Every structure is written in structure tokens, then in C-alpha cells.
Structure 1
Amino acid sequence: MGKLKLVVIGNGMAGVRCVEEIYQISPDIYDITIIGSEPSPNYNRIMLSKVLQGDASFEDIILNDWDWYKERAIRLLAGQVAARIDVVGKKVETASGVIVEYDKLILATGSSAFIPQITGAGKPGVIAFRSLEDCRRMVDASRSYQKAAVIGGGLLGLEAARGLLNLGMEVQVVQNASFLMNRQLDRMAADILKFELEKQGMRFLFNKHTERIVGRKRAEGILFSDGTRLSADLIVMAVGIRPNVELGKSGGIHTNRAFVVSDYMETNVSDVFAVGECAEHDGIVYGLVAPLYEQGKVLAKVLCGKKTEPYRGSVPYAQLKISGIDVFSAGSVNDSEAETAYQLYDRTRNVYKKVTMIDGKIAGAVLYGDISEGNTLLGYLKRRTDVSVLSRAGASSASNGGADEAAASMSDQETVCNCNGVTKAVIVKAVRSGGLQTLAQVRERTKASGSCGGCKPMVAAIIELALTGGEAEEEPRVCGCTSLGHSALKEALKHSKYSSAKQVMAHLGWNREGGCAVCRPAIIYYLGEVEAAGAEVGSNYDEAINGYGLRIKLGSGVESGSSEARRVEWIGAELEGRLELHAMPHPVSVAIVSGINGGVGLPVRDVGIAEAPAGWEVYAGGHAEYPVKQAQLIAAGLTVEDALELGVTCLLWYGDSAFYREPVWKWLERQGMLAVREKLLDPEARDELQSRRFEEWPVKAVADGAGRRGGRIHGVERSS
């Protein structure tokens, strides 16, 4: 059979990112055609403000150059506009008459600048700020005209205004609200921002509603509804975006504000999907890059036939990209939406921080001046973390923080680049194992800071930390055969095409042919290829192929057959069933007891589930041999069902993220008990971990060898 035909309408960030994900998962499944309306390769649209401000050239913001398409045999119809979809014949026709057949179709048509119905809006001299061509028109206008007005005091409007200032124009920003960025900032942060921008030369008009654009042959100014006027030679509209959905009418695709999609990015038409700014999920259209990439990742797995968690929506956040000004905002920040949990304004450093809450849970955050805590606060917001975490983490850190200090205190598993989902550990390992030294090199390897660019200071601080050794001691090597540690090895194999340990050793620079008894099973365990592993190492490395298993010990401390004993038996059976197909990197002992005196050594087991007078309790991290470790309490006062779920999720997460032959207590120390508790007690995080069980984690090899590796339950032992 030949390859399936995949057509992507839209050469923007969302559609091409989905194609990138497809190539990582199944590079040979599709012949791909991309139809792009602009005569250019894929570029970073959200960095256009940097081009306009003179901080970057167009070449600097190209994400995938012409060679990228050629190397992957992608047919790019640049400068072509898709005009009609035939969903019965499965064809797309362009305005120039080119017809492209498809088996699967992705609508990634993006959006256009919203131009309000204002008299005179079509005059020469009135433009939007949405494309590279818009940037060129603004540059051309600056050579002939002096006065500019930007309608819209949001992110895009302020970035456009800053660019026009850099081009030497006088700039007035017209805002219909009473303060800047009124959807993202509270009044105090907006006033600080206004003061700073005024120092840069920007001027503002608030509570102004445009009646019409005045001028005979071209725009000469704005008439407001209150009768006042503003003289302007160039007028930039930056009041929002409108999804491009007109194409869907020809194909009967259901639209509301945008193409309506399911949790798997499906439209109502078979084999037609939508992603990005033209997709409406659960009534929401996202215009920020992180949600678009999250959608693209889900869709790529769907198109490659891989099991995936559904797309459940995103928590949007905003960062202002103006030289010399750092602003971060996420969630509900105004007093009408949420209560203030913490607020700080340091005038000497011009630093402002506000965190809001709803029902005791973190609901929003605004940072000005020092945004180094942005990713941490966004994580709290996504997990709906209790506000008490602010005091534990040190709520006053904004007064003495900065990227360097935040980078040093950040945990390895914390996300640094939210757009691309890159953690601190990935960046550190890229620097130390890959010999990288610059931000550009790290961006090329990991994509960190490659989208909105808001995390650049933090990425740079982590690079410096990794280079200077200011971080905790470097992770030990897997063995003497390689310079790689377990994190770097796992990362290298994450999206690899290797089918054997020998291939891995050859490509990753092993200094001993064939490796050794330490690294060979580790590679095979991370690789997860049963057939290749079995042929390569035989039965001596059964644990490497199938992983270690669980030993479940039950003890009721009461008479057999009682209700307490039956509950313990039920938990043991459920745990056995739910984890039977999952690999463990190290032998794991689990104690399940009713009453502390269950007789199965609860305090020194890897995981313990115990019934106490106030409800069920879950423990983790015990160790009976040297060094002796006492299990720590994760949660108490639970129902029996919640205790079971917590125990299962903990072991699933351990199985996914621990290093080969790393015991539970060491894994807990590396992750940090506070981080583990927060994640396990967060319902959304638990759901996400559970949904990934069969998508990314190894499952047990079946008898005919067609399956993949997996853990084994070594039986359930009962103690009277």
C-alpha cells in the first residue's frame, strides 16, 4: 500500500507544528501537502513585533526554512489560497485552480485581524498588524509620514506601538477601556506599565470609542464618539482577531466562531480536522501559541493511530514583548473575578506581584518587572494549587529574586518553556551532555524559547547555571561505557527510531562495543522493544525486557473474612489488576493493611496503603535495608477508593519517570516530596497521568511476542 495523502491548509505555527509531531511519531505514514497563503516558509508570527521593533530580521524568526520542506519531501504550495473543499471527492481546490486530493485534511487556516465596522476603515493608511506584509507596510509608511495612531491597548497594540516608535513616528494608543491590557492586568500593574511606556515616548487616550476614520483620499485622523478628534497619518487596527472559517462553508463544516472540534480535534466531517486559531474547542478559541501546540500534539497522535489523552482545553497566559519591559499575566487577576491572596509592589526595583485565589485555590497571577516566577505560578494555576503553597515557597521571593535565583531554586521537572513543554532537566542535560553553550544552540536542540520568547531570560540563566556548575552535582553516568546519565539517555531515546541496544550504542558514542551488564539492560528497558531485546540479550536480561514487578503484602490485623479484611483483599486485587501490565524500573514492595499493626512492615515499604480511624492513608518511600528510610505520608483521611487511586497513580508516575534500577525512596528524594504531593493530590494531574497509561508507558509483552515489555505482579502475599 502507498502512503496516505495528508493535506494541511495553512502554513502557520499550528499546522506545521502538527506536521513536526507527525514526523517524530510516524515519519513514513503520509505524503504531505501544505497550502500556505503567504509566499514564505513557516515563520514565528508572534515575533513579528520584534521584527517591527528592529530587534530581529525576518530570517531570525523563520521556524522551518525551504530546505526543511525539501528534506521531508513535503509539497509546499506557498502563496496559494485554498478556495474550495470537496468533502465527498476528498479534494481541495486553490484559487489558481490547483486541485489536491487528500485522505486526511487538517484545517489550520488561522485568523485575520478583526477590522470593526467603522466608516472609513477601508481607506489607504489604515492597516492591521498580523503578517510580515503588514510590517513592511508600516515601515514604508514611516518613511513618508510622522503621526501614527494604534487602536487597541492590548498586547498586540502595545507591541505595534513600540515598533512604530522605533521607526521614528509619534504614536498615540487609543484604548476603549480605562486602562491598558484590561483583560490581562489589574489597575495597578496597568498604571505601572503606562508610566514606563510614557517614558519611552508613547502617548495614550483612554475611554475613547472610534466613530469614523476621517480624510479624503487617505486616512488623516480619527473622529471619536464624544466629538473629539485625533490627527494621524497612519492608523493601525489592533483590536482582536477573527478566525478564518469561510472555507468551511464549501464543505459543510460546522462553525460557530471557528470550526467546532471535539477533544480529538475532529470536525463534524469525516477525516477533516482543525487545529489552531481556526478551531473552537468547548466554546473557546485560543489565540496563544501554547494551546495551539497542545492541540497539534493531540492531533498528530490521532492521525498516527496512537492512543492519546484528549485535549481538555488550556490555561492561557500572556507575556508582553517590549524591550526593557517584562509583564506576565495568567488567569483571573481583577478584583471582580477573584480575591487577592498576595500582593507586593517594590518601587525601588519597579517590581510588582499579585496572586489571586478563588475558594482558597490559586486563580491568577500578575508579574511586572521580574517575571522569573511566571512558569511556577502558571503551574500552580493549572493544578489549582492551594494558596498555602505561596508561604511554603516563600511569597516574598519577588523582592529578592531574579532569573538566576529562580533558576537555581527550580526543580528539575518544572516546565521552563510552556509553549513547547521543555523542562529544566531537558535544558541542563542538553548543555551538559550535548556540549551546548549558547541560547541559540539550546533553542535549536530543545525548542526552549523558540516560540513566544518569553522564557529567554530563564533559559539563559539555566544554561549559565549548567555551565558554571552552580547547579547540584551532575547526575552520575549510567556506567563507564558512556558519558550519559540516565536523564540524558532517556531523553535521547524518547523520539528515537532505534530498534536495538547496539544501534543506540553506535549512535550515542559508547566507548565499549556491546556495552556492559549495567548499561545494556538499561538501554533495553528505556527502549522497550521486546523482540529486538529478546534476540539481543536472551533470558539473562528478563528484567530489562519486562521490567521488575510488584510484591503486594496484605495484612488486616483482624480476623479473616471480616469487613476490614475484605477491604484489604479488594485493594490488593484492584492494585494487581490495574498495574499488571506496567513495568517497574526496580522491585517494588507494597503493603496494604487495616490497622497499623497489620504485620507487613508498613513503615519500610516502598508504598503503603493503611486504614486508620480517620480514614485511609497513603505512604511512600520506605526502605528496610541500608540506608533505612521510613515511609512518608502523602495523604490521609481518604476513602478506600481514593486511597487506591492515589496508590496506583503514584506507582504509575514512578514507573514512568524513575531511572532504571532506581528505588522508590531515591526517586522521591529526586522529585521532592512536596512536588509529589502536589501532583498526586491534584485531580487534573492524576487524570492526566492515568490517561497516559497505555499511550507512553511500557506494557507487558504478550505470549506471542507481539506486545511490548511490561511489569509483572509477583503475587499477593497475605499476612494474618
Structure 2
Amino acid sequence: MRERLVVIGNGMAGIKCVEEILQHDPERFDITIYGAEPHPNYNRIMLSKMLRGDVAFDDIVLNDWSWYQEHGIKLHAGVRVARIDTAGRYVVTASGAKTPFDILVLATGSSAFIPPIPGADKEGVMAFRTMEDCEALIRSTGNCRQAAVIGGGLLGLEAARGLLHLGMEAQVVHNAPFLMNRQLDPMAAGLLQAELERQGMVFHLSKNTVKITGRKRANGLRFADGGTLEADLVIMAVGIQPNIDLARDSGLHTNRAILVDDYLATSISGVYAVGECAEHRGIAYGLVAPLYEQARVLARSLCGKQTGPYTGSIPYSQLKVSGIDVFSAGDIGGRGIITALQQYDGIRETYKKVTMVNGKTVGAVLYGDISEAPALLKAVQLGEEVAKLAAPETGVNPAEASAAAMADMDTVCACNAVTKLTILQAVTKDGLKTEEEVRKHTKASTSCGGCRPMVQALVKLAASGKAAGGATVEPVAAEKVSVCDCTALDHEELKQAVSRISASSPGEIYARLGSSQQEGCEVCRPAVHYYLDLKMSHEGLRKPYPSTILGYGTASGMLIVQDESMGSGFAEEGSALAAELRLRWNGISLPRRITAAVAEGTGSPVAALIRDIGLVSCPAGWEVYAGGTSGRPVREAQLIGLSETADQAADLASACLQMYRKEAWYGEPLWKWLERIGLLSVRETLYDPVNQEELLEGLLNRPQPIEATR
């Protein structure tokens, strides 16, 4: 019997959680969603474009009415939940209707913050937060000519730009000395202000509004310094406040928002919170990427999947403000923050600033050209040495140089977790030609839109075959090598083809692949079976064939050795670790036979550094290496990471092995796969808690054959 899942909130965070649940376990829940707005799920970030008239509502809908029907979701749009009975396990709407739940997810989001300014309740004072707000603003412009926008942050500037487009005078009032003071430094803010003034905006900085004047309807503002400003429309854009009344009145622990732990659980069992209404480790996030990260962790947890905790996010903004690209990440000012790099190009009107603490990257600002944003965001997130941030070569297009320098598995779109490789393959493998086609296919830049310049650069890069520095790479078609004479497919194409085929036997698969031989040949047969095994593993299915016909490497043939010369104080832990790896890896399928070693120190007779995977004891714990080989030429393994305990080392090594299983081509040595994927991207994947847990789960939950013949 399915569990009853009720989601209060039809916004971006709540529906992202539902989307992830449907992906992991679509049959697990009967899902009911309550949304206060009478609309399907839409992209709130795009409301400013709707205000400007650039898009219609249908263009910003993320999931239309049919999506809910197709997935059997009961959507109550335009219905507010008035009460939660946490003891009786049901919710009550404003009309008195009750809906029982086993699991409740609060995704109530936030509302526009209206400061307690006298006159804020007058007619002509509005917020800019919802679809209804946007529509009301558009209607108001027919009778109003002068608008005052209180708030010089992102939302206020976007509202002002929309009002200008609608033919109104837009004056922005901000209580700080420069615009977007939480995201920008004075230099970047000054450049932004100058451009917006050229577009027609007027700014009143360091002004505190103490009253909205007028009798019944607003007619202006009065400032603390005695100054005044005429306005027949006042827009409040000073921030947001989490919607927590429902949770607080129902007995949940709240502070600024609903308090949650690292798995988004509230103070009441079975009740969770995600998105802008959730407060995690003292922070309530208002940006899309952190909310989506929370949704992924919560969805996996609710589906019973092993997942790492949500440990917080590096705050960053990568957005287009009134047609100008702006990027900001991490700490850009304050005590102890040192400017490591500052560049201004007056001709191109671009600006770049990188900040550091003790030589480590802690923040960055880009204005005008944000092509370096993914690389800088990664540097901030990893705390990379500032000295490693290389500038593009003279004469090279910065966007293309940054795009080419990214590793294949680097994330381009943090909101939707889209990598560089996914975008490149959309062009080279799927034949897409335009940025818009790639956006629709991959979802990259469809949420906040901040990564759009990088998506454009990657599409151009993939189509032209140009690498950083202007060097030309061979076209993909020229590098293609067929797996065998039976098929024209290369390993990547064969792997993808098998993943899309639904068949009950290998014979059916060969027929669907268009193989010239009914049962394939000795070269392609083990590859097809291996890729089929990966498909079964991913879908949690049992293999419809005995394991003896597979013909590819298995962990039963894997050599795991340990250093026989280990000291007495170390031998027990080393032996236990080797035994644990044998247990975990027993019988798993591999693209190629590998060797692994457990040793005490890099100088051990076991020579762990020339093994595919080596675990080496060190004073700080265990070092985990990968990619070594004793073949010709001998290759020394590369350090994947350091673990404090043997259990953590076993997890890291096992996750690396599973990543190799999933991404390598059949017959590809581990060192060659590591070289192709890139050490940095492998490290980033393995050290992401959610990714590591997913890899470990895939290794543990591998399907077993119906019949295993020895």
C-alpha cells in the first residue's frame, strides 16, 4: 500500500522534491499538493521578464496541468491549508476539508517583506513577488506615471526595469550607499548604477523612508533626512520573509524560518520542510540552487535511498540584472577579507574581483562578462589557492577559454545539476544546433538563467571544435572507433543504446541494435552484456541471464593484496580493511579486471601506487589512490583523497570503483578512464556527500542473476 504524501506548497522547491521522488521511486507515494496560487508550478525568477513583456505566463510554466495528471498527483491549486493536526496526521483547508498524511512536506516558501512604514497599507503600495503582483503592476501602469521602488537589491532593480519598459518613470530608493550591497562591492555596484542610469533609472541612495505620504492613496515618500519624493505608485522590494505561521501554529519549532536538521526533518516526526521556509544551521536560503540541493537530499531520504546530509551551500548569485550579467559568490568584503585580484576593462566595461583569506579563495565578483563564473564558483566552494587561478591567454575569447578549461564533469548549471559533458553531448551526440535547443533538452539555464553565457559558450565550442588557446580538436566523428565489425557504434553510443532498449534477452538486444550477427561476436558480446548489466543495476532489476555468459571482468577475479610486512600494531586494521573490500566487491561486474592493494606506507613491498586502487596507511589515517598500473609504461596512482578512518577509506575506494563501473567503457583500464574524465572531476564527485552515498548504494544494491552457474 502506498504511503500518503502531502506537500503544502506548489512552488519551485516543493515541486523539485516531487520530481526527484518520481525519478527515484514513482510508485512509493500517493501525492497530494496544495498551492495557494491558482496556477500550476511556474518559474518565479522569470516574473521580471513577464513584467517587461518579454515572455507570457505559459513561457514560464515549469510543469503544466497535464504533468500532475500524468503522474497521478492530486493538485489543489488556489487552496490554502489553514491547520495541521500533527497528532491526527491530517491537514485542514480553509473550507474545512481534511486530507490525511503519512509524510508531510512543508514548502510554503516566503512572502514579500513589507517594512512597518507608516502608510504602507495605502492604495498604490504594492509588492512584487507573485504572478498576481505582476499582473496588478501591469494594470496599474495605465493610471500611474511615477513609480518609486523601495529596495536597491536584485528584485527592486528588476521591478524598476520592468516599469521603465511599461513607460513609467522608475526611481529606486535604497538605504545603503551602493546597489546590491549584499552581493557586490562598490566598484561593481557603481558600474551597474551607471548603466542603469543610462537606461533611464533614477537612484536615491543612503535614504531611509519614514513615511508613505498621501491620504487614501500613496502620492510620495518622506525620508529621514527631511527630503521627499513624488510617486503615485510605490513598489516594496526590500526582501522576503519565510511563511512560517502555519508551521508555528501547528507546534513546529521555528526561528526566522522552520527549523530543520541535515535531512530537512522538523521537530515533529514525519514532517519535513524545504526551500525558503526552512532554516538550516541558522540560514534560510532564498536562491534556487540551495533549494534544489535541499530537495534532492529530502527526496532521496523519503524514498529510502542512502544519502549524505545537506550541509549547507555557498551563497552565490549568477544573474542578468536588467540586461547586464552579474556574478557574485562567497565573501567579498568584511574583516579579514583581502582583495587578491581586481581587474577593470573600461573598453569592454567588464570587472573582476577575487578575495582571499590566507591565500585561499573565499569570494568573487564579475560584472559584464561572467564566463569565468563556473571556475570561480568552484574555487570558492573548494577554497582553492588563489595562485592557481589562471587568466586566459591574450587574444582568446574569455568565455570560450573558460568553457574549454572546464573539466567534462564540472557543473555548469547548479540549479539543475547539468555538467559540461551533458551540454557538449547534446551538440555532438544528439545533433542539437542552437542554444535554445540545448536549454530545452538539458534544462541548463532554465531556472535562474545565470549560467546562460556559459551554455552559449559551450554550444559554440562544441559546434566549432575549438579548444582553449584557439587550438582545433578533431571532430567527434573523426575520432569514432566502432566496437567491432558487427556494429557501427562506438562504446559510448553502444552504452547509451543499450540503456534505452527494453528487451528480455541479449538476442533481442542485438536485433534492436541492428547488429549484423544475431548473437553479436566475441568482441561486442561481452561489451553488450556489461552495458546491459549496468542498465539492470540502475533500474534495480534482476539479470535475465546467468553470470557465466557475461565474459567481462568481475570482482571475483580481482586481486586484493595486503602488506605481509605490516607491523603488529597495524596488521589487524589492515587485514580487516582488506577483508571488508573483498566482501563489498565480491562478484561485482567490471569493465576490466583490476588489482587493489592495502599497504602500510607508500614504500611498502606491496607497491600500492602501481595498482588500480591503493589504500595506504599514513599518520593522518588512510590515503586512497587510483589509476596506477605496473604495465608498460608504469603509471603511478594519483591521490583521490585522505580518510581519517578505515571505514571512510573503504567508502571512498568503493565509491571510486562504482564510478568507474558506471562511466568507463568496456575494456577501458581504470587509469585511462581517470585520464579521460579528469582527476579533479572525480574528486569533486566522490567528495560530494550525496553523490558518494548514491554511488555506494548502487554498489551495494546491484542485481543478482536469476541463475548463477559456477
The answer, yes or no, to whether TM exceeds 0.5 is: yes
Distance in 2 (CA, whole Å) between partners of 1:42 and 1:678 is: 32
Deviations for 1:50-103, whole angstroms, at most 9, x for unmatched residues? 111222221111101111112222221111111111222222222233322222
Q: Which 10-residue stretch deviates more, 213-222 or 571-580?
A: 571-580
Structure 1 residues 581 and 293, CA gap change in structure 2 (3 angstroms): farther
**1:527 to 2:546 alignment:** no
**1:624 to 2:630 alignment:** yes
**1:412 to 2:408 alignment:** yes
Aligned residue for 2:470?
none
Q: How far 1:319 sits from its partner (Å)?
A: 2.5
Give the secondary structure class of the aligned counterpart of 2:135: helix
Is the Cα–Cα contact under 8 Å of residues 107 and 273 in structure 2 kept in the other structure? Answer: yes
**1:517 to 2:502 alignment:** no
Give the secondary structure class of the aligned counterpart of 1:292: helix
Deviations for 1:604-658, whole angstroms, at most 9, x for unmatched residues? 43244567999987654333335x2421553899989698887666545544543
Q: What residue identity is the alignment partner of 1:520? A: V
Distance in 2 (CA, whole Å) between partners of 1:309 and 1:617 is: 21
CA RMSD of aligned residues (A): 3.6
Is the Cα–Cα contact under 8 Å of residues 651 and 696 in structure 2 kept in the other structure? Answer: no
Is the Cα–Cα contact under 8 Å of residues 494 and 528 in structure 2 kept in the other structure? Answer: no
**1:429 to 2:425 alignment:** yes
Is the Cα–Cα contact under 8 Å of residues 540 and 703 in structure 2 kept in the other structure? Answer: no
- Given candidates 454, 457, 478, the residue that maps to 1:461 is 457
Q: Which 10-residue stretch deviates more, 401-410 or 35-44?
A: 401-410
Give the secondary structure class of the aligned counterpart of 1:694: helix
Q: How far 1:284 sits from its partner (Å)?
A: 1.0
Q: How far 1:510 sits from its partner (Å)?
A: 5.2
Q: How does 1:133-144 map to 2 (within 5 A)?
A: 133-144=132-143
Aligned residue for 2:697?
695
Distance in 2 (CA, whole Å) between partners of 1:640 and 1:247 is: 44
Structure 1 residues 462 and 521, CA gap change in structure 2 (3 angstroms): same
Aligned residue for 2:27?
28
Distance in 1 (CA, whole Å) between partners of 2:274 and 2:574 is: 47
Q: How does 1:565-644 map to 2 (within 5 A)?
A: 572-573=578-579, 575-576=581-582, 584-593=590-599, 598-600=604-606, 604-608=610-614, 620-626=626-632, 628-634=633-639
Q: How does 1:160-309 map to 2 (within 5 A)?
A: 160-309=159-308
Q: How far 1:15 sits from its partner (Å)?
A: 0.9
* Percent of paired sites with the same residue: 49
Aligned residue for 2:37?
38
Q: How far 1:417 sits from its partner (Å)?
A: 0.5
Structure 1 residues 283 and 63, CA gap change in structure 2 (3 angstroms): same
Q: How far 1:157 sits from its partner (Å)?
A: 0.9
Is the Cα–Cα contact under 8 Å of residues 528 and 698 in structure 1 kept in the other structure? Answer: no
Q: What residue identity is the alignment partner of 1:192? A: L
Q: How far 1:148 sits from its partner (Å)?
A: 0.9
Distance in 2 (CA, whole Å) between partners of 1:243 and 1:111 is: 4
Q: Which 10-residue stretch deviates more, 522-531 or 418-427?
A: 522-531
Distance in 2 (CA, whole Å) between partners of 1:281 and 1:506 is: 51
Q: How does 1:111-150 map to 2 (within 5 A)?
A: 111-150=110-149
Structure 1 residues 380 and 579, CA gap change in structure 2 (3 angstroms): farther
Q: How far 1:699 sits from its partner (Å)?
A: 4.6
Q: Which runs of 5+ in 2 are unaligned?
A: 468-472
Distance in 1 (CA, whole Å) between partners of 2:669 and 2:621 is: 28
Q: How far 1:333 sits from its partner (Å)?
A: 0.5
Q: What residue identity is the alignment partner of 1:96? A: S
Structure 1 residues 282 and 568, CA gap change in structure 2 (3 angstroms): closer
- Given candidates 504, 521, 540, the residue that maps to 2:549 is 540
Is the Cα–Cα contact under 8 Å of residues 525 and 547 in structure 1 kept in the other structure? Answer: no
Give the secondary structure class of the aligned counterpart of 2:596: strand
Structure 1 residues 550 and 376, CA gap change in structure 2 (3 angstroms): farther
Distance in 1 (CA, whole Å) between partners of 2:319 and 2:574 is: 54
Is the Cα–Cα contact under 8 Å of residues 319 and 449 in structure 2 kept in the other structure? Answer: no
Aligned residue for 1:9?
8
Deviations for 1:462-508, whole angstroms, at most 9, x for unmatched residues? 223333444755374773677766556767888x8968566994998
Distance in 2 (CA, whole Å) between partners of 1:304 and 1:617 is: 33
Distance in 1 (CA, whole Å) between partners of 2:152 and 2:270 is: 40
Is the Cα–Cα contact under 8 Å of residues 530 and 552 in structure 2 kept in the other structure? Answer: no
Distance in 1 (CA, whole Å) between partners of 2:395 and 2:226 is: 46
Distance in 2 (CA, whole Å) between partners of 1:276 and 1:399 is: 43
Q: How far 1:592 sits from its partner (Å)?
A: 4.8
Q: How far 1:341 sits from its partner (Å)?
A: 2.0
Is the Cα–Cα contact under 8 Å of residues 542 and 704 in structure 2 kept in the other structure? Answer: no
Distance in 2 (CA, whole Å) between partners of 1:298 and 1:497 is: 29
**1:479 to 2:483 alignment:** yes
Is the Cα–Cα contact under 8 Å of residues 301 and 307 in structure 1 kept in the other structure? Answer: yes
Q: What residue identity is the alignment partner of 1:247? A: L
Q: How does 1:321-470 map to 2 (within 5 A)?
A: 321-336=320-335, 338-390=337-389, 394-395=390-391, 400-470=396-466
Deviations for 1:106-132, whole angstroms, at most 9, x for unmatched residues? 111111000001100011111111011
Structure 1 residues 611 and 269, CA gap change in structure 2 (3 angstroms): closer
Distance in 2 (CA, whole Å) between partners of 1:442 and 1:581 is: 39
Is the Cα–Cα contact under 8 Å of residues 547 and 586 in structure 1 kept in the other structure? Answer: no
Q: How far 1:33 sits from its partner (Å)?
A: 1.6
Is the Cα–Cα contact under 8 Å of residues 655 and 695 in structure 2 kept in the other structure? Answer: no
Distance in 2 (CA, whole Å) between partners of 1:80 and 1:382 is: 40
Q: What residue identity is the alignment partner of 2:32? A: T
Distance in 2 (CA, whole Å) between partners of 1:35 and 1:611 is: 54
Q: How far 1:354 sits from its partner (Å)?
A: 1.1
Give the secondary structure class of the aligned counterpart of 2:550: helix
Q: Which runs of 5+ in 1 are unaligned?
A: 707-720
Is the Cα–Cα contact under 8 Å of residues 320 and 326 in structure 1 kept in the other structure? Answer: yes
Is the Cα–Cα contact under 8 Å of residues 652 and 689 in structure 1 kept in the other structure? Answer: no
Distance in 1 (CA, whole Å) between partners of 2:580 and 2:50 is: 58
Distance in 1 (CA, whole Å) between partners of 2:126 and 2:286 is: 20
Structure 1 residues 146 and 487, CA gap change in structure 2 (3 angstroms): farther
Is the Cα–Cα contact under 8 Å of residues 606 and 631 in structure 1 kept in the other structure? Answer: no
Structure 1 residues 295 and 595, CA gap change in structure 2 (3 angstroms): closer
Structure 1 residues 59 and 539, CA gap change in structure 2 (3 angstroms): same
Distance in 1 (CA, whole Å) between partners of 2:525 and 2:407 is: 31
Give the secondary structure class of the aligned counterpart of 1:434: coil
Q: How far 1:429 sits from its partner (Å)?
A: 2.2
Is the Cα–Cα contact under 8 Å of residues 21 and 299 in structure 2 kept in the other structure? Answer: yes
Is the Cα–Cα contact under 8 Å of residues 581 and 699 in structure 1 kept in the other structure? Answer: no
Distance in 2 (CA, whole Å) between partners of 1:398 and 1:261 is: 49
Aligned residue for 1:710?
none
Distance in 2 (CA, whole Å) between partners of 1:102 and 1:703 is: 38
Q: Which 10-residue stretch deviates more, 660-669 or 192-201?
A: 660-669
Is the Cα–Cα contact under 8 Å of residues 490 and 526 in structure 1 kept in the other structure? Answer: no
Distance in 2 (CA, whole Å) between partners of 1:243 and 1:504 is: 55
Q: How far 1:555 sits from its partner (Å)?
A: 4.6
Is the Cα–Cα contact under 8 Å of residues 493 and 527 in structure 1 kept in the other structure? Answer: yes
Give the secondary structure class of the aligned counterpart of 2:305: coil
Structure 1 residues 121 and 400, CA gap change in structure 2 (3 angstroms): farther
Deviations for 1:408-460, whole angstroms, at most 9, x for unmatched residues? 22221111111011101112223333333333333333221111111122223
Distance in 1 (CA, whole Å) between partners of 2:545 and 2:312 is: 43
- TM-score by length of structure 1 reads 0.86
